Structure 1
């Protein structure tokens, strides 16, 4: 038996969030095709879906085993103007900053996190980022709500890139706009600290002589109450 989980637009198209079936031995792509036949509204979305088996991204030709969990993950960016997004393309700090500009905003502070070459004396060749996209976006929205409570009138945009990143490339861009400059600086610092605490994004550091996954979070979120 294989369990299938559907998210966001995929769940809406199929009219359900979970399915199960005797699909062991089929590929992930074949299961998607079967579901598209069962639920015609899912068909147009099928080519855009990312696939994950047991919380690991896979290609459509990945063969399923009994007990596997297959997740159908729609695109999460919502277009160029999405305030909170997980993307695979290079990031533009100017583009993210423009999202928080408004007549009532008097200051915009932008944070850009980049891939550095040396960490604790060890040379990094490149990084690989992975995320749980839907939950990551939801937690980014949560951070924005927290900022709005502490700094009334603030506007927030967060973009995080996943996949392989080379030295010097931007992995995350955060822009915060507030009526006054002090709030913008403080809220932007708050945003990156909270992102590292609660947003499910991980990175693999690839060195000249090895590699290791490093969680972006600094522990389970319940160990890090909101900063008040």
Structure 2
């Protein structure tokens, strides 16, 4: 007896494999993620290298190659990432703290989510589309997300921030669809009683977002395009995050240093 397996694909995978959802007929109803990836590679041997480095999602959570999956699970294959609806923790804001949206992001509105009368520091990271990268002129970026899982992992980041820096409030809004040059693709706002915690938490949030949130970007140039994956080394969303020494671009709005904005 054969069983039907359906695996959703994202980012550049549909273009490579010619479908947004792979349908396989396999003899087993359960197997490990690694075995399922082997079956995919057998079906698409010309894309073996790419399929081998992808991670699987089972019911909107990452699953390691050794974990078991069933043909009844909701399955997705996620290429290396690029880089909500929960309620905000502001005393007055009604906006969700974690959000995926095709609409432009209002940085001031996101900041209002994390305002708190007992917090003396509020930091806002704004990631924007730059025009020139490595001598190539970018016309626009196009973002795609595995939305339910992306929202869940944004909320997970918020929980991690509160565990590591108790008392901090956070909000993360990310764009999908077309993002033009100069427009914001992501806004991360963090507030805390003292500014050190806000700086550290903001930096952790952007690096963690790049590591675990299934959002991909396609760079559109004047003469071509390319899906961009993880650029900080081998992608492993199941690994512990070691935040590297790097420049962090933020807007500081607090009782601390004067406001500065350095978008990459």
TM-score category (smaller protein)? 0.5 to 0.7
**Structure 1 residue 96 corresponds to structure 2 residue 91:** no
Q: Deviations over 1:130-180 (max 9, x none)?
A: 001111111111111221122110011000000011100000000001111
**Structure 1 residue 86 corresponds to structure 2 residue 100:** yes
Contact 1:156–1:175, Cα closer than 8 Å, also in 2: yes
Shift of 1:82: 0.7
Unmatched tracts of structure 1, length 5 or more: 6-52, 59-63
**Residue number in structure 1 paired with 2:254:** none
**Residue number in structure 2 paired with 1:225:** 240
Aligned length: 171
Change (3 A) 1:180 1:121: same
For 1:100 and 1:152, locate their aligned partners in 2 and report how far apart those are by CA, in whole Å.
14
Shift of 1:194: 0.7
For 1:159 and 1:184, locate their aligned partners in 2 and report how far apart those are by CA, in whole Å.
17
**Structure 1 residue 186 corresponds to structure 2 residue 174:** no
Q: Deviations over 1:76-116 (max 9, x none)?
A: 54696111010000001100010001122221100000000
Name the structure with the higher helix share.
1
Contact 2:86–2:155, Cα closer than 8 Å, also in 1: no
Change (3 A) 1:172 1:134: same
Change (3 A) 1:173 1:194: same
Aligned match for 1:67, one of 23, 47, 50: 23
Aligned match for 2:121, one of 92, 107, 114: 107
Report the secondary structure of 2:123's partner residue.
Answer: strand
Contact 2:121–2:191, Cα closer than 8 Å, also in 1: yes
Q: TM-score, normalised by structure 1?
A: 0.66
**Residue number in structure 1 paired with 2:157:** 143
Question: What is the root-mean-square deviation of aligned Cα atoms in Å?
Answer: 3.1
Contact 1:201–1:215, Cα closer than 8 Å, also in 2: no
Q: TM-score, normalised by structure 2?
A: 0.57
Change (3 A) 1:82 1:65: closer
Q: Deviations over 1:11-65 (max 9, x none)?
A: xxxxxxxxxxxxxxxxxxxxxxxxxxxxxxxxxxxxxxxxxx933599xxxxx99
**Residue number in structure 2 paired with 1:133:** 147
For 2:223 and 2:21, locate their aligned partners in 1 and report how far apart those are by CA, in whole Å.
34
For 1:176 and 1:107, locate their aligned partners in 2 and report how far apart those are by CA, in whole Å.
8
**Residue number in structure 2 paired with 1:55:** 9
**Residue number in structure 2 paired with 1:34:** none
For 2:202 and 2:5, locate their aligned partners in 1 and report how far apart those are by CA, in whole Å.
38
For 1:144 and 1:54, locate their aligned partners in 2 and report how far apart those are by CA, in whole Å.
27
Report the secondary structure of 1:90's partner residue.
Answer: coil
**Residue number in structure 2 paired with 1:35:** none
